[in-house]
């Protein structure tokens, strides 16, 4: 019996090693490339004879990459803050009042989650030109808020459903208005889901390419994804610097993940549409 | 539940006031563009000029005889349904392997899940170093094993499959997480009872695990399907739609029609069709899976 258990553990570990090997290899190759010189023609699987960080200094040279990281951070922070505030505000009445209007609204918001950005980008672009939102941070921020909101509203609605209504009723008897209930009873208990909403929607904006491609067309306003695109653009022969730039772009995500992995996993489970 | 009192806001008032910011944003940046999109799709607008002519449904009739559109439509179906199928299989298998504790569980979960956080565009660039023809890491392996170099993305149909596989491998971590949560919610006593009745592992899997996982399958199928049908960044960074137009998704085709062909009217028509298609698929799949879920209970 014990022997069988040991066998099982060995097989499981071997399978796990195989899975790790498959999933790690492209990232391993990326890192090796970022540490090699342009003239190093050894196999990409081999580590460099002497690791060099020249590619990283080259990728960071001129400050364009840092500027793009800063731009992205600004957009993500502002948009996510609004997504949280507006999302929580909308989630409360949608969870508590089953009026026809609130039910219709919930359904429509679910629909917006399915809209492929590219299918509306031509008219959105035209609209932004009309309201002078092209090549502005507020233009991209307002689009990021709009298309990030449905997820946020959905997660808050689900979460508020789990807060006992008895608390609301007690507060109402004590003379609290319906609005005050939100600020005094509901808001203080939203912390755990807020962390998940922030991470999930924040990462989506950090990773966005389609909206940013259309709204931010000036080099100074470039975000990380747009910057990476220029690193890999045709005609650029320095793939090692492009690999270094990619590593720099991935690094913040890994750092955030290692500190907040609990909320990442919870976020995926919470945001799942049922 | 709440009785109406004089001077107290009615339920509908509260809903209206508190959802107002969200509703306004949805009207201005979702509803209006959708309507404008339909309008533009009925014209021959080139994307920048002041003038455009109303041409009725010409853009829509053109769709069905346009090999570029038909190809992109077919590819989108492959990207969407293909990735979903394989992500479901991989997700369930990984979840079964990684649900219970053993030495490598934490590490393996992290390694599978982390890439799912990365932008589609960037994922394509990461894999580009693997599948490049000259000096690509995969070709190194092929030659090491005595084969001849393969131009992985050089042929349309193969490139479509490779993009689908990259999408599957890279983003199956999300499905895995959902299935692990699903497995964790199955009470142990179901399995204990089945063991007492003499059911073997395989029987337990089909009669307990799978039916109990149906809610998780609904969830992850919708998530993966919508993600796959929206495919954009990955196509841009791996093939840019080429060779020719053979690997375009509907999204990347819209982008090309607008920026390179300056055919905004036609691009809008493709956008409208894409939108309707994805909506229809999601509604049908949700309805179908909800029925299954009800049947399993």
Both A41 and A71 in a single domain?
no
- Nearest residue on chain B to A99, alpha-carbon basis: B12
pLDDT recorded at residue B16: 87
Both A181 and A217 in a single domain?
yes
Tokens 């393969």 correspond to B150
Is A83 inside any structural domain? yes
Considering the entire predicted model, what is its pTM? 0.90
Q: What is the CATH number of domain B67-296?
A: 1.10.3720.10
Q: Which residues pair with A161 in a beta bridge?
A: none
Both A132 and A195 in a single domain?
yes
- Split into its structural domains, chain A has a count of 2
Is A57 inside any structural domain? no
Chain B interface disruption, residue of A18, A47, A120, A125, most B CBs within 10 A: A120
- Nearest residue on chain A to B14, alpha-carbon basis: A93
Both A163 and A35 in a single domain?
no
Complex ipTM value: 0.89
Residue A58: exposure state from Cβ atoms within 10 A (0-12, 13-18, ≥19): middle
Is A248 inside any structural domain? yes
What are A178's two structure tokens?
């319906």
Both A146 and A211 in a single domain?
yes
**In chain B, what residues touch A179 (CB-CB under 8 Å)?**
9, 14, 17-18
Verify cis geometry, omega within 30 degrees of 0, for the bond prior to B243.
yes
- The H or E element containing residue B246 is none
Give pLDDT tens digits for A144-193: 999 999 999 999 998 998 888 888 888 888 888 888 888 888 888 898 89
Both A38 and A139 in a single domain?
no
Is A81 inside any structural domain? yes
Q: Which of B11, B33, B135 sits opposite A120 (nearest CB)?
A: B33
Chain A interface disruption, residue of B17, B33, B201, B224, most A CBs within 10 A: B33
Both A241 and A187 in a single domain?
yes
Helical spans, DSSP H, in chain B: 11-26, 32-41, 58-63, 67-77, 83-98, 105-113, 120-131, 137-144, 156-184, 188-196, 201-204, 210-229, 233-238, 250-259, 264-296
Largest Cα–Cα separation, chain A = 76
Both A71 and A28 in a single domain?
no
**In chain A, what residues touch B218 (CB-CB under 8 Å)?**
274
pLDDT recorded at residue A62: 74
Both A7 and A75 in a single domain?
no
Q: What is the CATH number of the domain that holds A150?
A: 1.10.3720.10
Q: Quick one: DSSP state of residue B114? A: G
pLDDT at position A99 over 70: yes
Residue A121, min C-alpha distance to chain B (Å) = 8
What are A190's two structure tokens?
């939203």
Both A213 and A259 in a single domain?
yes
Average pLDDT of adjacent 10-residue blocks, chain B of 297 residues = 56 87 93 92 85 86 91 95 95 92 88 92 93 85 84 90 95 92 88 88 88 87 89 92 91 91 90 92 85 76
CB contact under 8 A, B129 and A124: no
Both A214 and A265 in a single domain?
yes
**In chain B, what residues touch A246 (CB-CB under 8 Å)?**
122, 125-126
Instruction: Give the Cα-Cα-Cα angle B255, B259, B264 (nearest 5 degrees).
Output: 80
Both A43 and A86 in a single domain?
no
**In chain B, what residues touch A46 (CB-CB under 8 Å)?**
none
Give pLDDT tens digits for A224-255: 999 999 888 866 778 888 999 999 999 988 99
For residues A178 and A92, is the Cβ–Cβ distance under 8 A?
no
Q: Provide the residue count of chain B.
A: 297
Q: Which of B47, B122, B226 sits opposite A246 (nearest CB)?
A: B122
Residue range(s) defining the domain that contains residue A177:
63-271
Is A131 inside any structural domain? yes
């Amino acid at each position: 019996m014990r022997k069988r258990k040991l066998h099982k553990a060995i097989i499981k570990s071997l399978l796990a090693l195989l899975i790790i090997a498959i999933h790690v290899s492209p990232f391993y190759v990326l890192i090796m490339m970022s540490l090699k010189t342009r003239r190093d023609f050894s196999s990409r699987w081999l580590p460099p004879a002497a690791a060099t960080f020249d590619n990283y200094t080259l990728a960071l040279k001129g400050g364009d990459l840092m500027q793009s990281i800063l731009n992205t951070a600004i957009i993500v922070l502002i948009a996510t803050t609004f997504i949280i505030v507006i999302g929580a505000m909308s989630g409360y009445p949608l969870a508590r009042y089953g009026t026809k209007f609130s039910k219709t609204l919930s359904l429509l918001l679910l629909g917006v989650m399915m809209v492929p950005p590219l299918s509306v980008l031509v008219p959105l672009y035209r609209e932004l030109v009309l309201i002078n939102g092209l090549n502005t941070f507020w233009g991209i921020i307002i689009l990021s808020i709009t298309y990030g909101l449905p997820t946020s509203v959905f997660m808050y609605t689900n979460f508020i459903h789990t807060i006992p209504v008895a608390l609301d009723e007690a507060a109402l008897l004590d003379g609290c208005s319906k609005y005050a209930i939100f600020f005094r009873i509901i808001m203080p208990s939203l912390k755990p889901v807020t962390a998940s909403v922030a991470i999930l929607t924040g990462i989506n904006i950090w990773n966005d390419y389609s909206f940013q491609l259309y709204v931010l067309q000036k080099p100074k306003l470039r975000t990380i994804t747009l910057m990476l695109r220029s690193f890999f653009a045709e005609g650029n022969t320095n793939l090692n610097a492009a690999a270094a730039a990619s590593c720099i772009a991935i690094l913040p995500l890994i750092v955030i993940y290692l500190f907040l992995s609990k909320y990442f996993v919870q976020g995926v489970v919470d945001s799942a549409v049922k | 539940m709440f009785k109406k009192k004089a001077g107290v806001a009615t339920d509908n008032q509260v809903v209206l006031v508190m959802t107002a910011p969200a509703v306004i944003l949805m009207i201005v940046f979702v509803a209006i563009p959708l309507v404008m999109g339909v309008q533009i799709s009925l014209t021959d607008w080139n994307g920048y000029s002041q003038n455009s002519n109303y041409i009725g449904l010409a853009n829509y009739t053109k769709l069905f005889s346009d090999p570029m559109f038909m190809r992109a439509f077919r590819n989108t179906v492959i990207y969407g349904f293909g990735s979903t199928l394989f992500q479901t299989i991989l997700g369930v298998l990984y979840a079964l392997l990684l649900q219970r504790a053993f030495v490598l569980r934490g590490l393996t979960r992290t390694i599978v899940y982390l890439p799912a956080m990365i932008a589609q565009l960037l994922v394509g660039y990461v894999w580009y170093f693997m599948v490049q023809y000259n000096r690509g890491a995969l070709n190194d392996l092929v030659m090491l094993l005595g084969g001849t170099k393969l131009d992985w993305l050089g042929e349309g149909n193969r490139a479509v499959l490779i993009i689908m596989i990259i999408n599957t491998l890279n983003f199956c971590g999300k499905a895995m997480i959902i299935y692990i949560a699903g497995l964790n919610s199955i009470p142990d006593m179901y399995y204990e009872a089945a063991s007492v009745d003499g059911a073997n592992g395989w029987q337990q899997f089909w009669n307990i695990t799978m039916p109990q996982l149906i809610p998780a399958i609904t969830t992850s199928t919708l998530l993966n399907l919508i993600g796959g049908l929206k495919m954009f960044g990955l196509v841009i960074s791996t093939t840019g739609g080429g060779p020719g137009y053979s690997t375009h998704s509907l999204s990347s085709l819209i982008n090309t029609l607008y920026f390179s062909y300056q055919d905004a009217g036609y691009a809008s028509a493709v956008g409208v069709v894409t939108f309707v298609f994805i909506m229809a698929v999601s509604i049908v799949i949700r309805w179908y899976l909800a029925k299954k879920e009800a049947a399993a209970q």
